[in-house]
Amino acid sequence: MIAPAGPVLSAPAKSPVPSKNGDAKGAVDRFATAYSGGIAAAARLGVLPPRAARATQRMLDACRYLDVAAVLGAVVGVFVLTNASHPGAASIAGFLNMRVTVKNLLLLAVFAAVLHASLMMFGLYDERRLEEPMLYALRLVGACLVGGIPLVLFPLASSTGAVRPISVGYFVTVAVVTLSALRWLVWLAAAPSPAAAIRNVLIVGSGPRAQRLYHELYAHAEDAVQIYGFVDTNPDPVAEEIAQRMIGTLDDLEGILMRHVIDDVLITLPIKSCYGKIQNTIALCERLGVRAAYLADVFQSSLGRPSYEQTGRFPVVRMHVVNDDHRMLVKRAMDLLGGAMGLAVAAPVMLVVAIAIKLSDPGPVIFSQQRFGLNKRRFAMYKFRTMVIGAEALQADLETRNEATGPVFKIRDDPRITPIGRVLRRMSLDELPQLFNVVRGDMSLVGPRPLPVRDVHKFSESWLMRRFSVPPGLTGLWQISGRSDLAFDRWVLLDLQYIDGWSLGLDLQILAKTVPAVLWGRGAA
């Protein structure tokens, strides 16, 4: 077992600047300091990542993506509040039953355009504005006030009186609360799972450039980073501190990436003499789904999408083998909302299932098993227990009866399954506790299925590892395409098809198709 080397790197905390401009400014500064301190404390507790204290443009881009839905919710809220004195109308159904006319659509279009322009004008999508949290909050209020001006036209155009002048005041209040909650949700969505809070970095090379980069990572680290080690064609590096952290040669790189948790590969080999080796390293990282970065922009890529970034004083080109933009924060926000709502809705069912399991068997209700997640990090996946106690220890005796192709294990009439377990599996109710994994960040609502340690250790080809370049999912293309009826090769191809063609629309399609697939029990085992 190769042990990671090097301490954890983290950014030093910034000291608050005392106020010099009177009590009002001092109050603002104290509020901002407390706000920032609260975020930093949450980061230390694992609720938010360190980078959330200095929110990036990527997070604000996600807010811009979600603001449309938030404002629509605000408009619905305004309608319900305005008609609170009319029980028959004060409902979402009443809002949806309103007549859709060309006039109303034009008013909504003008309203949406003015609000969007107002949010832009007040700098709510500019990361520089976040340096003053209190001023940012005031900007949000101002943007909603200005953006709500077109609402004064709605009472004039309303023939039924359903929209009243007070709607403007209601809208500002509801919009401020909704947009503020949305931004906090995006901050939460940016938080990595506890296991992924520290990024493991592998440096390819051991010469002067590798040594300088090594020191730069310590001196200018912005996120928690751990130097996992070095690999190079030269087994005897000059620097002693590099030699202590050498974990193999370039020929060992494929095995290291297959069996260890590596988030980034930083290539520091000299371009002139190692062009072919760098190109091969990039191709290998693409095949395994590991993100690579190099110190030049002269190499071809068939899968990775390059982005120009700064690592300390070193500009690098990072090859993203999966989508890594603001849409991933939107996806995570969907996971948080969907997971929380799913737990709330499923709570009564989960209680009944737990009682049924306990009455039928004195063993534990929840079964926890180590699975491989994003970048091959292990996590405890939860399920309702559907097998006898000690089922994992009995699996070795059943290997000869394995009916699945490839490295996975599956027996349709598995003798370890309990009677109540067969019912739960048929209805997919045993998967409900994985909503906790979704909320924690170990899993997503949609993604490749997380595999047990036993199955992954039987992978013989490195390209299979690319399925770990995205978070595993509660459902996926495999779920709506046959589940256990699929051969392993088809299963993996569906995973890679999902990874390469991912979009938020695809996630929504899969979620919609999962419901009938589960109800009809297709491929359940």
pLDDT for res 302: 61
* pLDDT tens-place values along the chain, 525 residues long: 344 444 333 333 333 333 344 444 444 444 444 434 443 433 333 333 334 334 466 777 788 778 877 777 777 777 666 665 555 544 555 555 555 566 667 777 777 788 888 888 888 887 777 667 788 888 888 888 888 777 777 666 565 555 566 666 777 788 888 888 888 888 788 776 766 678 889 999 988 888 888 887 776 655 577 889 999 987 676 778 888 889 999 999 999 999 999 989 999 888 878 889 999 999 999 999 998 887 654 455 566 655 655 555 556 666 777 777 778 888 988 999 899 999 999 999 999 999 999 998 888 999 999 999 998 999 999 999 999 998 888 888 888 888 877 888 888 888 999 999 999 988 889 999 999 999 988 999 999 999 999 999 888 888 889 989 999 999 998 888 876 677 888 888 899 999 988 999 999 999 999 888 877 766 555
pLDDT for res 378: 92
Q: Is residue 200 within 8 Å of residue 374, measured between CB atoms?
A: no
Q: What is the largest CA-CA distance in the chain?
A: 84
pTM of the model: 0.67
- From residue 311, give the alpha-carbon distance in Å to each of 9, 199, 246: 13, 14, 21
DSSP states of 122-179 as a string?
Answer: TTTT-GGGGGSHHHHHHHHHHHHHHHTGGGGHHHHH-SSS-S-THHHHHHHHHHHHHH
- From residue 64, give the alpha-carbon distance in Å to each of 55, 126, 337: 14, 11, 18
pLDDT for res 113: 80
CATH architecture of 194-320: 3-Layer(aba) Sandwich (3.40)
In sign, the C-alpha dihedral spanning 239, 245, 248, 254 is: negative
pLDDT for res 71: 77
DSSP states of 378-400 as a string?
Answer: EEEEEEE--B-TTHHHHGGGGGG
pLDDT for res 280: 92
What are the b/e assignments for 8-22, b being 16+ CB within 10 Å?
ebeeeeeeeeebeee
pLDDT for res 316: 66
Sequence ranges of the domains in the chain: 56-189, 194-320, 326-520
What are the b/e assignments for 39-71, b being 16+ CB within 10 Å?
bbebbeeeebbbbbbebeebbbbbbebbbeebb
Residues 6+ apart with CB under 8 A from 354: 365, 384
What are the b/e assignments for 422-452, b being 16+ CB within 10 Å?
eebbeebbbbbbbbbbbbbbbbbbbbbbbbb
Long-range contact set of residues 344-352: C-beta below 8 Å, sequence gap at least 24 = 346/432, 346/435, 349/429, 349/432, 350/384, 350/432, 350/433
DSSP E strand boundaries for 398-452: 444-446, 451-452
